Amino acid sequence: MRSLFVMDPLHAIDVRGDSTYVTMRECCDRGYPVWYCTPDQLFIVDGRARVLATPVHVTAAPPHFDPGSPVELDLGDVDVVWMRKDPPFDMQYIFTTYILDMAPASTLVVNGSAGLKLFNEKLWVQAEFSKYQPPTLITNDIDRLRRFVRERPGRSVLKPWDGNGGRGVLVVEREDRNLNSMIELLSRGGQDHVIAQEFIPAVEQGDRRILLFDGEPVGAIDRVPQSADFRANMHAGASVERAELTDSDRELCAALRPALQKWGMLFVGIDVIDGYLTEINVTSPTGIQEINRLDGVRLEQQLVELVEARMRQGD
């Protein structure tokens, strides 16, 4: 199984917690050829999607990555393209999915490029699964945002629609004298849409990241914010604890499964706070290494075997 990983540069990868790293390593351990590229190394020639790709051998021991010399490939020269570029979900990201759309039918793209284009991680919840969210408003109307916050019985959360890793997430009080300034800053004076949600007090005890492979839950962790912060993101310094899936978690996963399978979302991470679904992470979800350490499993092995099975189905 020949794999191409579209990803951030190797020097930006933190091997202590990165899910892409252990997936690449699992492929190499199985003797599979692995190449990598950054999105800007994808291009089109006469209607064919091509790439300047670097072969790399990935190991558990430092220096972890042993790259070779770049070679030009057609996307039809590989069996699987793993789209693992971290956000932001910007026009460069979208353009990359257009190129991946041009991969031949014989090449599997994980996750499916059509789904990546269509479904923003925060907005997809509103589009199809809003009943699992707390009261939510998405708008660039400053007055409407202000009214939403002041009509809540308690605190509210404001965040950019295209943020990641906890960037720009604010908790505001109804009568906060800085409310107008915060809304103006987040919306850039009404130019950008902002997500406003009723605050879920349970977030102070953390949120839950659940990983799903082909719509099936395979593990979970609780992310507990630092005492001086309310953001339960690992990028923001949250600690990680072992979690057992509840009946509510499994019900939520079952509700998501048909849509995830329809759009080829083989590797997804969802974020849940007190039973509420806050995000469906499809671009570059993480959490494999944390679940591995806490549960004594090897999720990257399950993931690669899932892709192997999908490849056999396509033969």
**Backbone region of residue 72 per phi and psi (left: phi > 0; alpha: psi in -120 to 50; beta: other values):** beta
User: For residues 6 and 81, is the Cβ–Cβ distance under 8 A?
Assistant: yes
Q: Which of 209, 214, 222, 249 is catalytic?
A: 209
Active site annotation includes 231: yes
Q: Which of 198, 249, 271, 300 is catalytic?
A: 271
Q: Rounding to the nearest 10 degrees, give the CA dihedral for residues 125, 128, 130, 136.
A: 60
> How open is the CA angle 221-206-223, to the nearest 5 degrees?
35
Q: Which of 18, 121, 207, 279 is catalytic?
A: 279
Side-by-side strand order, sheet with 194-198? 136-139, 194-198, 156-160, 170-172
Q: Output the six-digit token pair for 71.
A: 């070679």
Active site annotation includes 271: yes
Q: Which of 122, 207, 214, 290 is catalytic?
A: 122
Q: Which of 207, 281, 290, 300 is catalytic?
A: 281
Rounded CA separation 107/45 (Å) = 17
Active site annotation includes 281: yes
Rounded CA separation 174/115 (Å) = 37
Active site annotation includes 295: no
Residues 6 or more apart whose CB falls under 8 angstroms from that of 77 comprise 2
Rounded CA separation 277/269 (Å) = 11
Q: Which of 231, 249, 290, 300 is catalytic?
A: 231
Q: Output the six-digit token pair for 129.
A: 């699964």
User: For residues 73 and 35, is the Cβ–Cβ distance under 8 A?
Assistant: yes
Q: Which of 223, 233, 249, 300 is catalytic?
A: 223
The length of the chain is 315
Question: Count of CB atoms within 10 A of residue 302's CB?
Answer: 17
Type of residue at 257: R
Active site annotation includes 223: yes
Q: Which of 50, 84, 159, 208 is catalytic?
A: 159
Catalytic residue positions, numbered: 122, 159, 209, 223, 231, 271, 279, 281
